[in-house]
Amino acid sequence: MNRTKTTISKEIKKKLLKWGFTKRGLFENTKGEWYLFLQLLLILLHFLTPYPSIEYIKFPINLLFIISGIILSINGLRISLKAFIDLGDNLTPLPYPMKKSILIRNNSYNDSRHPLYKGILSISLGICISTLSIIHLFLFICLSHLLKKKALKEEELLKIKFIEYEEYMKEVPAIFSNISYLDWRS
């Protein structure tokens, strides 16, 4: 049993080091660790009870919002899973690309430079719509702002690492096309 725990612990440590996590980074935000922690906090806060309660809204409209929000969230989950699979070994939760990463431009990365963020925001907006919650609207707005800042930081580094990234930025929307705040094509 102890050997299994030791092996699992070593594998986790190896993966965290591969992604670029360090003790110093956790305290000094050297590779954008705080973006990740804030992102996780905002995602977890989506489990808060909605306010105001949707039960006070008339039934047919209530049902329309619930169904629309659930469909949007399911689509966001689909987008996130596809992007996760498409990234493969290049996936890192930090905005700094790994040393041995390659630029992925195909599949879900044809339509968005940050499809994982697109999926997360779709899930968040779906929760907001299905609950008609002011709290969840605030969480969606905060998450949008945070993911944009994280994506901009990531893109600074991707332009340095990959010469072709600037051309990719001109061709493909950042997160959502036609929403200027979330599509800062140059």
What value does the mean pLDDT of the chain take? 88
- 19 within some domain: no
- 68 within some domain: yes
* Mean local confidence (pLDDT), 21-44: 84
- 100 within some domain: yes
- 88 within some domain: yes
The residue range of the domain holding 103 is 36-47+57-182
- Summarize pLDDT for 92-140 with one digit per residue, the tens: 888 888 888 899 999 999 999 999 999 999 999 999 999 989 999 999 9
The pLDDT value recorded for residue 56 is: 61
Instruction: Output DSSP code: residue 31.
Output: T
Residue 156 pLDDT exceeds 90: yes
What share of the chain in percent tops pLDDT 90?
Answer: 58
| Residue 58: band (very low, low, confident or very high) from pLDDT cuts 50, 70, 90 | low
- 69 within some domain: yes
Do residues 169 and 113 make contact, with C-beta atoms less than 8 angstroms apart? yes
The DSSP annotation for 121-158 comes to: HHHHHHHHHHHT-HHHHHHHHHHHHHHHHHHHHHHHHH
The pLDDT value recorded for residue 27 is: 80
| Neighbour count for residue 28 (Cβ, 10 Å) | 11
Q: Alpha-carbon torsion 98, 100, 105, 109, what sign? A: negative
- Geometric angle at alpha carbon 73, from 145 and 33, rounded to 5°: 40
Instruction: Output DSSP code: residue 32.
Output: S
Residue 167 pLDDT exceeds 80: yes
Q: What is the pTM of this model?
A: 0.86
What total number of domains does the chain contain? 1
- 2 within some domain: no
Name the token pair of 35.
């973006």
CATH of the domain at 145: 1.20.120.1630
- 176 within some domain: yes
